[in-house]
């Protein structure tokens, strides 16, 4: 089967000063996320109602400077981030991570 493989991260670095994350992709793209952006888009069962899809996250409860303390691979398709606010159940698939890229090109 032909077709382009979806981009995958080739490098993920924590940016403690932002705080945030930088992701380099297999297609040469680069994404810089603030921790808060990713944290607010957590799609785990504690943050999003599984039945209604409703976001149950209280934005006010998320620290402005929430940082990724640890990043680990979650299977072949995503990463799990442990956040400085103690939340660690969120898995970000590569597809989703790429879809959240806040750069000009991706948000056009
Ligand atoms: Zn969550
Ligand atoms: Zn982008």
- Residues within 5 A (CB) of ion ligand 1: 42, 44, 46-47, 90
| pLDDT value at residue 5 | 84
Counting ligands in written order, the one closest to the CA of 50 is 1
Question: Residue 11 phi/psi, 5° resolution?
Answer: -155, 140
Counting ligands in written order, the one closest to the CA of 44 is 1
Q: How many other C-beta atoms lie within 10 A of the C-beta of residue 98?
A: 19
Counting ligands in written order, the one closest to the CA of 39 is 1
Give CB contacts under 8 A, 24+ apart, made by 81-84: 81/21, 81/38, 83/35, 83/39, 84/19, 84/35
d(CA 27, CA 80): 22
**Residue 42 · residue 25 · CB < 8 Å:** no
Ligand 1 centroid–CA 90 distance in Å is: 5
Going along the chain from its start, the domains and CATH numbers come out as 9-100 (3.30.2020.30)
Average pLDDT, the chain: 94
- The pTM for the full model equals 0.90
Counting ligands in written order, the one closest to the CA of 46 is 1
Ligand 2 centroid–CA 87 distance in Å is: 25
**Is the pLDDT reported for residue 1 higher than 60?**
no
Q: Which two tokens mark 104?
A: 């000009």
CA atoms within 13 A on the CB side of 44: 15
Task: Provide the percentage of residues in the chain whose pLDDT is more than 90.
Answer: 91
Ligand 1 centroid–CA 72 distance in Å is: 15
Confidence of residue 4 (pLDDT cuts 50, 70, 90): confident
pLDDT for 34-66, tens place per residue? 999 999 999 999 999 989 999 999 999 999 999
Question: Residue ranges of the alpha helices (H) in the chain?
Answer: 35-40, 94-99, 104-107
């Amino acid at each position: 089967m032909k077709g382009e493989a979806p981009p995958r991260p080739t490098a993920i670095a924590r940016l403690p000063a932002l705080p945030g994350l930088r992701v380099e992709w297999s297609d040469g793209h680069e994404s810089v996320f603030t921790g808060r952006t990713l944290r607010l888009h957590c799609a785990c069962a504690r943050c999003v109602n599984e039945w209604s899809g409703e976001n149950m996250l209280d934005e006010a409860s998320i620290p402005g400077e929430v940082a990724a303390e640890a990043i680990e691979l979650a299977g072949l398709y995503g990463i799990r981030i442990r956040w400085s606010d103690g939340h660690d159940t969120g898995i970000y698939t590569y597809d989703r991570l790429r879809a959240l890229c806040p750069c000009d090109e991706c948000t056009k």
